[in-house]
């Protein structure tokens, strides 16, 4: 994962700081919005990701009418990004 992030961040420079600021301002969907979702939702959470808690993924799929959550680890994503679907 570190190699992938390094590659990605180097390629985004010098726009990376602006992109990070934009990401920090992003407001995630609320449970109320997810309750209105009329398409299936597939969620994937990394159980060992300290930045994106698995509890948020569980909350999202609980709110959406047709949703499923699968969990992986960061090592699994690093070894094979296709585990994300």
User: In this predicted model, what pLDDT tens digit does every residue of 21-37 receive, in sequence order?
Assistant: 999 999 999 999 999 99
Residue bearing tokens 């680890």:
73
- Residue 1 clears pLDDT 80, i.e. is over it: no
Spatial contact of 33 and 22, defined as CB atoms under 8 Å apart:
no
Q: How far apart, in whole angstroms, are the C-alpha atoms of residue 26 and residue 67?
A: 22
Length of the chain in terms of residues written: 85
Q: How far apart, in whole angstroms, are the C-alpha atoms of residue 2 and residue 61?
A: 28
- Residue 2 clears pLDDT 90, i.e. is over it: no
Over its C-alpha atoms, the chain yields an Rg (Å, rounded) of 15
Residue-range domain boundaries for the chain = 2-27+37-84
Average pLDDT over residues 40-68: 96
């Amino acid at each position: 994962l570190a190699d992938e992030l390094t590659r990605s961040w180097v390629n985004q420079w010098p726009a990376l700081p602006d992109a990070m600021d934009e990401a920090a301002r992003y407001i995630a969907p609320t449970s109320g919005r997810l309750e209105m979702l009329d398409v299936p939702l597939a969620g994937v959470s990394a159980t060992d990701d300290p930045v994106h808690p698995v509890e948020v993924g569980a909350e999202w799929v609980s709110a959406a009418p047709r949703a499923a959550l699968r969990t992986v680890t960061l090592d699994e994503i690093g070894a094979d990004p296709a585990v994300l679907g």
